[in-house]
Amino acid sequence: MRRGRLISLEGGEGVGKSTQLAALAEALRGRGISVVVTREPGGSQGAEAIRKLLLEGDDTRWNPRAEALLFAAARSDHIETTIKPALGRGEWVLSDRFLDSSLAYQGEAGGLGIDAVRDLHRFGSLDFLPDRTLVLQLAEDEAGARARVRDGHAGDRIGSRPPSYHAAVDAGFRVLAAREPDRVRLVDASGSPATVTARLLYALGDLIG
């Protein structure tokens, strides 16, 4: 049996990850691929418990280092409990966020440094990486408008941070794509949902074929 593939879908707030995750899963299933859809933080019983700790409360609940450690702990459980067993069954795993969100959010925007957060992942998850990371990119004003429609004026404790923080997140994703162009691909999220899905499938073409 061929090992499955881990594909992570990334991006800032309001870029359409949830919509595209569902559409991409449907498109892959239409090609005869068995797909497991999951999310971070979360995706396993232990990681879902940590998710509540991370996303609820006010923005001062955790200092940046504690926040990064919680994400790393949740990811370690997610990988061992959900992702690796699915890959071993030959299934593809689509994850709504994964390591690169921690690198962009806590590492770049949070000021801890991308390399420091990657070191946590090396310890907690033995540097287990997606086969492909697709980062949805959208102009800041359009992404902000979409996020406001989705959440109203109050998001979770991370999503509700100021525009300067989210601009730094976007910059972090671009740094990651420049560092690892074979793994991390930037995908234009403008246009119709069907058009964006087609772009995502194109970015996975070498893995699907």
Cα-based angle 16, 84, 38 (whole degrees, multiple of 5): 25
Q: Average pLDDT, stretch 22-26?
A: 98
Which CATH number do you get for residue 144? 3.40.50.300
The range of the structural domain enclosing residue 10 comes to 6-208
Domain tally, the chain: 1
pTM for this predicted structure: 0.90
| Mean pLDDT (whole number) for 64-85 | 97
pLDDT digits (tens, 9 = 90+) for 152-165: 545 687 888 898 99
Residue-level pLDDT at 153: 47
Judge whether 1 lies within some domain.
no
132 contacts 206 by C-beta, under 8 angstroms: no
